[in-house]
Amino acid sequence: MKLHIQHVTRYEYSAPLQYALQSLCLTPQGSAHQTVLDWSVKAPGPLFPSRDGYGNVAHTCSVTRRLTSGSVWASGTVQTHGEPVLVDDGAPAQVYLRPTALTQSHTRLAALGADTVSGGRVDESRAIGLAREVLARVPYKPRTTSVHTTAMEALALGGGVCQDHAHIFIATCRSHGVPARYVSGYFHAPGAEHLASHAWVDVCVDLPRRRWLSVDVTHGCLIDERHVRLAVGPDYAACSPIRGVREGGGTESMRVRIDIRDTSDLPAFSLEP
């Protein structure tokens, strides 16, 4: 599937912005799952690319001029291949055994994986089994949680979104000695644009060979041609699309629009006026 994506984040400030420093994890990379045909990132200030400790391509943006509004644009075309097994040379898999603030271990999380990932080994069948168990305990319920909700909090609430499903799955795997990591990306769901920004997990199925299986916990399946990978990390906070600090600006309002289209037989499009 050839997907053309435009991701626009618009900021408005009640007072002039004095300074801002942002990290943008908005650049997909080629892999067995996808080929990046073209991609660009634009921001109100100069962009400085680098590769972070997890192997992601990130851009640092420094804004030093006074602004009352601004936008970050990421756009391009990605050919997806639907391959859920990846081998990479990023951070060692053992890095993804460490708990984080959003994926702290708990006996209730460990119990969730007692029938699927106990013993420190996982395969496709067990991974899908755990995903379905997570969904049964935490059905998809928008506006139940926030980006600061931990895996245990989402489990206790009994509802959440893709980020929460990923965190619960990851924390459960790690509690049984199975490396698992958070994946941020896009999901092509015509007629359900609110699902365009998505998250899923990579679980390590072969530690020596660094083989990862990509599981969409929210949909209870392996990833397929509808998925475009952006970045990986131990949790959402480590690979969120945009994060940063600022001085001035007063009250900030933010609007995000993501448009994804299958352009295999269509011309390119633009969200710009």
In-domain check, residue 272: no
Express each pLDDT in 26-67 by its tens digit: 999 999 999 999 999 999 999 999 999 999 999 999 998 888
Paired residues of 196 in beta bridges: none
Same domain? For 95 and 124 the reply is: yes
Q: Work out the mean pLDDT of the chain and round it to a whole number.
A: 93
In-domain check, residue 268: no
Give the domain extent around 188: 85-239
- Residue whose structure tokens are 């245990």: 152
Identify the band that residue 273 occupies on the pLDDT scale cut at 50, 70 and 90.
very low
Same domain? For 29 and 94 the reply is: no
Same domain? For 126 and 245 the reply is: no
One-letter identity of residue 246: R
Same domain? For 102 and 195 the reply is: yes
CATH number at residue 35: 2.60.40.2250
CATH number at residue 148: 3.10.620.30
Same domain? For 182 and 123 the reply is: yes
Express each pLDDT in 189-235 by its tens digit: 988 777 899 999 999 999 999 999 999 999 999 999 999 999 999 99
Give the CA diameter of the chain: 56
- In whole angstroms, give the CA distance from residue 251 to residue 235: 28
Count of domains forming the chain: 2
- In whole angstroms, give the CA distance from residue 102 to residue 151: 6
- Core vs surface per residue 91-108: b (16+ CB within 10 A) or e: bebeebbebbebbbebee
The three-point CA angle 102-90-104 to 5° equals 15
Same domain? For 68 and 128 the reply is: no
Same domain? For 112 and 140 the reply is: yes
Same domain? For 134 and 51 the reply is: no
φ, ψ (nearest 5 deg) of residue 151: -60, -45
